[in-house]
Amino acid sequence: MAQSLVAVLKTRPETVLEDYKRLMHLAEYQRYLPLEEETLIKLNLSWTKFFPSCSSPPWQVEGVVRTLLDDGYRRERLYPVENKTVVTDPLKGAQNNKWLPVLEKYGLPFIPLPQVEWVTYSFEERLLKLHEIFPEGIQIPKMFIGKSILHLPTLKTHGHSITTGAVKNSFGGLLKEFRHYAHKYIHEVLVDLLIMQRELHPGIFAVMDGTVCGDGAGPRTMVPKIKDYLLASADSVALDAVAAKMMGYEPLEIPYLRMAEGYGLGTADIQKIEVVGEDIAGIDFGFRARRSLVIWGDQFIRKGPLRPLEKLLLHPPLMVWAPFASNLYHDFLWYPLVGRPRVREFLRTEWGRLFQDY
């Protein structure tokens, strides 16, 4: 079997768009996204508000879209999409993170997934947990069936899954807004998503932005740290493994990566991955995932002393309190007191000035 290939490049604001093109070619993306196929561009929205390192930055969107169009991919066959959760709004998020002016510049629509048709899909391969979590059937966007997919994650930590990136980006596309039910078995569910994608998509590729990375209580309440890296691969597991290594983790100690390799869904062993571009051998960001207050509370109910009350507290009809509490904490407490000063500090950097230029 051919060795998994991951491209890693250093970049800077002045050259980032051209660097994205160089990165994608270095990772041989055209081998994995057939020119004649329709392609989903799955953006990453972790917060409706703008917060650096949290969601796909506009230069990532522009660098990828411009490369696709320059290489002959047709506008009418490209579909930029993102979903909602019980605490995020994809259209407002697209505005706040400045995706819309980029997509308008290149003549592409933004497609909020709550507005498309969803269907119950029977997967041929047995899944680890999702059939148990959604016994009534797994609903997916009908438009995902038979299209290639290009993921646009960011490099950051996560309170549920330790790291988040290319693999978890499908969590926000293939599951409906109540996908938080899957948090209890997040590592098994991430493996399920790899199985599902293998059946649904003729081509899969991922381009990760690590210009501004997120450390700490991800995926929202993080400390943004400028690292100036871009990563790409057709192997989502290998890409996340390399990102994890750069963050300071042993990839095979992260359950979803170890399980994915065990099931033959990708390569998590760094020794078996060909990294081209930058030498990552000495890189260690020293990142450590932590649980935010909201994630800690979620796990306290799902896996802690309150687990007998899980369905009562976190499923309809009483689950309305959970998104209310999450929004209260994130949007009205943490963001004004902690987040907004971090945003102001970021906006004074070169990447912050670039963001404002959009």
pLDDT in tens, 21-47: 999 999 999 999 999 999 999 999 999
Average pLDDT, the chain: 90
The yes-or-no verdict on residue 233 having pLDDT over 50 is yes
pLDDT in tens, 172-193: 889 875 555 677 788 999 999 9
The yes-or-no verdict on residue 314 having pLDDT over 80 is no
Q: How far is CA 144 from CA 35, 139, 167, 307, 350, in A?
A: 17, 11, 16, 34, 37
Residue with tokens 């938080």: 180
Q: Is 212 helix (H, G, I), strand (E, B) or coil?
A: strand
User: What is the pLDDT at residue 297?
Assistant: 47
The yes-or-no verdict on residue 103 having pLDDT over 60 is yes
Token pair belonging to 4: 């998994």
Would you place residue 328 in the very low, low, confident or very high pLDDT band (cuts 50, 70, 90)?
confident
Cα 54 to chain centroid, rounded: 9
The yes-or-no verdict on residue 6 having pLDDT over 90 is yes
pTM: 0.92
User: What is the pLDDT at residue 1?
Assistant: 47
pLDDT in tens, 67-96: 999 999 999 999 999 998 767 899 999 999
Half-sphere CA count of 259, side-chain side, radius 13 A: 18
Which is more confidently placed, 158 or 292? 158
The yes-or-no verdict on residue 214 having pLDDT over 90 is yes
The yes-or-no verdict on residue 151 having pLDDT over 50 is yes
User: What is the pLDDT at residue 164?
Assistant: 95
What percent of the chain shows pLDDT beyond 90? 78
The yes-or-no verdict on residue 347 having pLDDT over 80 is yes
User: What is the pLDDT at residue 88?
Assistant: 86
Mean pLDDT of the 239-243 span:
98
Strands 204-217 and 148-151: parallel
What percent of the chain shows pLDDT beyond 70? 88
Sequence-distant (6+) residues with CB within 8 A of 153 are 44, 56, 164, 165, 166, 168, 169, 206, 208, 209
Mean pLDDT of the 110-134 span:
93
User: What is the pLDDT at residue 104?
Assistant: 98
